[in-house]
Structure 1
Amino acid sequence: MRLGSGMGWAWALGSWGVTYPESVRGIRGSCVMVPCTLSYPTDVTASDGIVAIWYKDYDSQKTVVYHSAAQEVDARFKGRAQLLGDPAARNCTLLLQGVTPEDGGPYRFRFEIINGVGETPPSAPSPLEEQTEGQTSTLECSTPYVCPLGDVALRWEGYDPQVSTVSSRVQLDTSGVGHHLTLTTSFSWKDHSKKLLCEVSYGSRKATGEVVLRVRHAPKDTHVSVSPSTQNIRVGDTVSLTCELSSSYPPISAYRWYKDGVAVGSEQMLTLRGVRREDYGQYRCEAENAVGAGVAPAMTLYIFCKCQGSLPEAGALLEEEWGHGSGTEFTQSRLG
Structure 2
Amino acid sequence: SKSSSWTAAVPSSVKGLLGSCVVIPCSYNYPEPQKSPQTFTGIWYNNDNQVICHSDASQTPAQFQSRTKLLGDLNKKNCSLMIDKLTRRDEGTFHFRIIMEAYAVFSYSKNKISVSVIDEPNPTDFSVQEEVKEGQTVSASCSVFHSCPTYSPSFHWSHSGEQHDQTQKLQNGQWNATSTLTFRSNRSDHNKPLQCSVTYHGGKQRVTSKTLKVKCNEIGTLLNKRQTYTMSNVSRHSIESMYCTAVNEEGRIRSSTVKLNVLCEYKMEEI
TM-score by length of 1: 0.55
RMSD over aligned Cα atoms: 4.4
Decide which structure has greater strand share: 2
CA separation of 1:120 and 1:17: change in aligned 2, threshold 3 A: same
8 Å CA contact 2:71, 2:80 repeated in 1: yes
Amino acid at match of 1:43: E
Query: 2:102 aligns to what?
Result: none
- Residue 282 of structure 1 is aligned with which of 242, 246, 258? 242
Looking at structure 2, the residues matched to 52 and 170 of structure 1 have their Cα atoms a distance apart, in angstroms, of 28
Deviation of 1:233 after TM superposition, in Å, equals 2.5
1:103 aligns with 2:101: no
Query: 1:186 aligns to what?
Result: 184
Looking at structure 2, the residues matched to 15 and 135 of structure 1 have their Cα atoms a distance apart, in angstroms, of 59
Looking at structure 1, the residues matched to 155 and 70 of structure 2 have their Cα atoms a distance apart, in angstroms, of 29
Pairs aligned (count) = 248
8 Å CA contact 1:167, 1:181 repeated in 2: yes
For residues 284-299 of structure 1, what are the structure 2 equivalents within 5 Å?
284-289=244-249, 292-298=250-256
8 Å CA contact 1:189, 1:216 repeated in 2: yes
Looking at structure 1, the residues matched to 133 and 120 of structure 2 have their Cα atoms a distance apart, in angstroms, of 34
Looking at structure 2, the residues matched to 22 and 220 of structure 1 have their Cα atoms a distance apart, in angstroms, of 57
Q: Computing the radius of gyration over CA atoms, which structure comes out larger, 1 or 2?
A: 1
Looking at structure 2, the residues matched to 14 and 207 of structure 1 have their Cα atoms a distance apart, in angstroms, of 44
1:327 aligns with 2:262: yes
Q: Deviations over 1:224-251 (max 9, x none)?
A: 2355845x52229xxxxxxxxxxxxxxx
Amino acid at match of 2:265: F
Amino acid at match of 1:146: C
For residues 1-336 of structure 1, what are the structure 2 equivalents within 5 Å?
16-20=7-11, 23-28=14-19, 30-38=20-28, 40=29, 43=32, 47=37, 52-56=42-46, 58=47, 61-66=48-53, 76-108=63-95, 110-120=111-121, 123=124, 126-130=126-130, 131-143=132-144, 144=146, 146=148, 148=150, 154-160=154-160, 164-171=161-168, 174=171, 176-194=174-192, 195-200=194-199, 205-214=203-212, 216-226=214-224, 229-230=228-229, 233-235=231-233, 282-289=242-249, 292-298=250-256, 326-330=261-265, 332=267
8 Å CA contact 1:21, 1:34 repeated in 2: no
Query: 1:245 aligns to what?
Result: none
Uncovered stretches (5+) of structure 2, i.e. residues with no partner: 97-110
Amino acid at match of 1:327: V
Q: Deviations over 1:34-62 (max 9, x none)?
A: 33333x36636974998755343x3xx44
Looking at structure 1, the residues matched to 27 and 139 of structure 2 have their Cα atoms a distance apart, in angstroms, of 33
8 Å CA contact 1:53, 1:68 repeated in 2: yes
TM-score by length of 2: 0.66
Matched residue SS, 2:64: coil
